[in-house]
A and B are shown apart, each in its own frame.
Chain A
Amino acid sequence: DAGVIQSPRHEVTEMGQEVTLRCKPISGHDYLFWYRQTMMRGLELLIYFNNNVPIDDSGMPEDRFSAKMPNASFSTLKIQPSEPRDSAVYFCASSRTGGAKNIQYFGAGTRLSVL
């Protein structure tokens, strides 16, 4: 199994630009999570999906952030327009109901820098 795949690994953009982060969960997993990690706040849950349906997006900081999961094998996190304070590492994780005690498997992350 290839694990959770995120792209790109690094993204550098200018303030005001649209940024799209991508995630491919592990095949067969029915939960997908988007996290943000910063030095100040540590890891924070932004949104999670179950069977492609958003369940809890209360962690999404502003309307500038949106996430979609059009099918079981793909999700995007979009920031439009981006701001310097959005600079962080964004992780995607997936898990399977009843599997391995609900352990979440993390992708390698996307390091976003907004200049």
Chain B
Amino acid sequence: KNEVEQSPQNLTAQEGEFITINCSYSVGISALHWLQQHPGGGIVSLFMLSSGKKKHGRLIATINIQEKHSSLHITASHPRDSAVYICAVREDGGSQGNLIFGKGTKLSVKP
């Protein structure tokens, strides 16, 4: 069973486009993370959310706890945004280790 589903799996965009990546989950959670994995393999934590919305530069993450859904938006996309974006949730009552990962969304931004 896939407790964390991401869509789309692959996304190609032109530079400057507004991008949305979606994450749906089926378990009760205490937190949701968005991670970015660069083409070289390194993983960087972008956001941790438990409610509402967070913004960092051109990145915006939102979460709707009732609908069990989160979105990651990228405004004015750039080729350097090309990466795999991974959604991960921490189950309610789970400790720091209990992260459940989505399969990731591979984003390619063309110049």
Contacts and interface: CB of A to CB of B under 8 A. Distances in A.
Where chain B touches its partner, the secondary structure class is: strand
A105 interface: yes
B41 A48 contact: no
Interface residues of A, number: 24
B99 A45 contact: yes
B42 A104 contact: no
A56 B97 CA distance: 8
A55 B97 CA distance: 8
Contacts of A108: 40-42
Interface string B72-107: 000000000000001010100001111101111000
Contacts, number: 56
Interface stretch (B15-23, B43-51, B55-63): B43-51
Interface in A35-68: 42-45, 48, 50, 55-56
Given A48-B96, A102-B31, A42 B104 contact: yes
B42 A102 contact: no
Contact of B103 (A42, A55, A101): A42
- B interface residue count range (under 10 / 10 to 19 / 20 to 34 / 35 or more): 20 to 34
Contacts of B101: 42-44
- Of A43, A50, A106, the most chain B CB neighbours within 10 A belong to A43
B33 A31 contact: no
15 contacts: A43-B86, A43-B88, A43-B101, A45-B99, A48-B96, A50-B95, A55-B95, A101-B31, A102-B31, A103-B33, A104-B33, A104-B96, A106-B35, A106-B45, A109-B42
